[in-house]
Amino acid sequence: MKVVVIGGGPGGYVAAIRASLLNAEVVLIEKDSIGGTCLNVGCIPTKALLHSAKLLEESKNFSDYGIDIEIKGYKWKRIQEKKSLVVNQLVSGVRKLLEISKIQIIKGEASFVNDCTLEVKKEDGNLETIKADKIIIATGSMPIVPQVPGIKDHDICIDSTKALSLEAVPKTMVVIGGGVIGIELATIYSSFGTKVIIVEALSKLLPMMDGEFTDFIRQILESKGITIMTEAKVTSIENVNGIAKVNVESNGNFKSLEVEKVLVSVGRRTNVDKLNLDKAGILHDKGRIRVNEKMETNIPSIYAIGDCLGKVMLAHVASVQGEIAAENALGHNSIYDGKTCPSCVYTNPEFAGVGFTEEELKEKGILYTIGKFPLYSNSKSLIENDGVGIVKLIFGEKYGELLGAHILGPRATDIIGECALALRLEATKEEIISTIHGHPTITEAIREAALAAEKRAIHIPNK
Ligand code: NAI
């Protein structure tokens, strides 16, 4: 069986390895660098910069911890080099894995000729025709550029890719969009001294996350000197001698902000324009490829996974869907279930959630109880970040099963894994309570939140 995967990001390369493990002959077509957005210009470089930013922030409090070191500042070039080192190591690691798996990599841009044939345009302009028994589309996404006059001035307006490798740290920056990318890059640049202003169209930051916690995140970001304008829209951008004049409208009021750079992070759209989906007869909804829970498109031999579906654009979703598509392409019957998919925002402290938010449960009319535990009552968090953060667990009222978990605190993005597993196992309040959590750990706050839901928390008063 010959499986051709289009796109070598965390969706495509995982699909390719899984197909190879199932003894398929696998070809992976990638036009740029293996690892896709995630490894090259997304998750990994962002987290590498965030780590440097966090170290710098923490260094300001060294004396509180009895450490007497004079911090002279930072070297942006060195930070960029460290980031590139991590990226290169991961990319070459993935390349090695593909090699070991005997996956043929073709560098070029693929497009459909029909439902079992692809044409690949190589870098030198040559075309190669490839036939496949099964095809997995994993072409990812690209930043959306909104219709704002002046936004295409690439000297002053940048996307997330450019923002990850700026030559110097700008003194001032407007971030358009208070979603995940906007918040993470605002966190990075404000730590390195940029005066950041976030302009968000909706009334809240991170609209898909727990509302109570996003208010908390807002306070934390503001306390770090970030200005946040919600219910605000950029109406136009002018380049005045290299300075961006950003015109913003908010509830009928107009304001002009003058900054060095404007980061545009208002979401991403599917990257399928060059695929010629119609030649293979693949159904899509304005570029969002339609699939069922087996990742099958309407064409039986063609699968699609990850960002190019235009739904949940997360690397870990793409990877899981890649495994499922590969398994189904090779005769299995695997189903994608997004119930346990965590959302992770790498602020400082981190913010992570899995399952339902209170807002979603209210909308669905599902009855629930909540248990909350503030991290100032958690010893490990108190040691690590002065106890800034909170854990909230949401349980079904009737059966006490976990419906959602939301964590703001140190390493929340790691700790949420426990909650995802609890959701998968339909764990109840009682089961979380009867699970012994190590001490001192931040995970104790999860157990305490479950106890709080029963008004029997030990380390906070029960109201
Ligand atoms: P997003 O969809 O998360 O947020 C975009 C924000 O921009 C929204 O809050 C929206 O209301 C706002 N917006 C839209 N148009 C606007 C306008 N004209 N003016 C002001 N605000 C406007 O998109 P984002 O942050 O660009 O991220 C793209 C994708 O990448 C998302 O699907 C995200 O989940 C994913 N991602 C995930 C990360 C993670 O898991 N840690 C990190 C980075 C990206």
Which tens digit of pLDDT belongs to each residue from 160-212?
Answer: 999 999 999 999 999 999 999 999 999 999 999 999 999 999 999 998 899 99
Task: Determine the Cα–Cα distance for residues 306 and 327; give it in Å rounded to an integer.
Answer: 15
DSSP letters along 157-171, please?
Answer: EE-HHHHTT-SS--S
Instruction: Answer whether residue 463 shows pLDDT above 90.
Output: no
* pLDDT score, position 49: 98
Ligand 1 neighbourhood includes 14 CB (under 6 angstroms): no
* Residues with Cβ within 8 Å of residue 403, at least 6 apart in sequence: 355, 356, 361, 366, 368, 394, 395, 396, 423
DSSP letters along 350-392, please?
Answer: EEEEEE--HHHHHHHT--EEEEEEEGGG-HHHHHHHTT--EEE
Ligand 1 atom closest to Cα of 343? 40
Task: Determine the Cα–Cα distance for residues 460 and 444; give it in Å rounded to an integer.
Answer: 13
For ligand 1, atom 9: residue with the closest CA: 179
Q: Parallel, antiparallel, or unpaired for β 195-199 and 227-229?
A: parallel
Ligand 1 neighbourhood includes 345 CB (under 6 angstroms): yes
* pLDDT score, position 350: 97
Task: Determine the Cα–Cα distance for residues 327 and 318; give it in Å rounded to an integer.
Answer: 14
Ligand 1 neighbourhood includes 178 CB (under 6 angstroms): yes
Ligand 1 neighbourhood includes 50 CB (under 6 angstroms): no
* pLDDT score, position 208: 86
Task: Determine the Cα–Cα distance for residues 252 and 258; give it in Å rounded to an integer.
Answer: 20
C-alpha closest to that of 28 among 115, 110, 90, 141: 110
Cα dihedral value 431, 432, 435, 441, nearest 10: 180
Ligand 1 neighbourhood includes 22 CB (under 6 angstroms): no
Are the CB atoms for 187 and 173 separated by under 8 Å?
Answer: no
* pLDDT score, position 84: 98
Task: Determine the Cα–Cα distance for residues 325 and 135; give it in Å rounded to an integer.
Answer: 9
Instruction: Answer whether residue 154 shows pLDDT above 90.
Output: no
| pLDDT 10s digits, 299-326 | 999 999 999 999 999 999 999 999 999 9
Let me know the angle formed at the C-alpha of 456 by 452 and 458, rounded to the nearest 5 degrees. Answer: 90
Ligand 1 neighbourhood includes 416 CB (under 6 angstroms): no
Helices (H), 211-264: 211-223
Q: Parallel, antiparallel, or unpaired for β 25-30 and 2-6?
A: parallel
Paired with 6 in beta bridges are 29, 137
437 is catalytic: no
Ligand 1 neighbourhood includes 313 CB (under 6 angstroms): yes
Are the CB atoms for 267 and 144 separated by under 8 Å?
Answer: yes
Instruction: Answer whether residue 439 shows pLDDT above 90.
Output: yes
Helices (H), 40-159: 43-59, 76-100
Ligand 1 atom closest to Cα of 313? 32
CB atoms within 10 A of CB 168: 8
Instruction: Answer whether residue 75 shows pLDDT above 90.
Output: yes
For ligand 1, pick from 148, 180, 250 the residue to mutate: most ligand atoms within 8 Å of CB: 180
Task: Determine the Cα–Cα distance for residues 341 and 317; give it in Å rounded to an integer.
Answer: 7
* pLDDT score, position 207: 87
What is the whole-number distance in angstroms between the Cα of residue 409 and the centre of ligand 1?
Answer: 22
C-alpha closest to that of 403 among 411, 412, 394: 394
For ligand 1, pick from 247, 268, 347, 413 the residue to mutate: most ligand atoms within 8 Å of CB: 268
Task: Determine the Cα–Cα distance for residues 62 and 56; give it in Å rounded to an integer.
Answer: 10
C-alpha closest to that of 28 among 44, 12, 47: 12
* pLDDT score, position 91: 98
Average pLDDT of the chain is 97
For ligand 1, pick from 266, 347, 414 the residue to mutate: most ligand atoms within 8 Å of CB: 266
**Residue type present at position 182:** G
Ligand 1 atom closest to Cα of 312? 32
C-alpha closest to that of 139 among 310, 291, 390: 310
* pLDDT score, position 323: 98
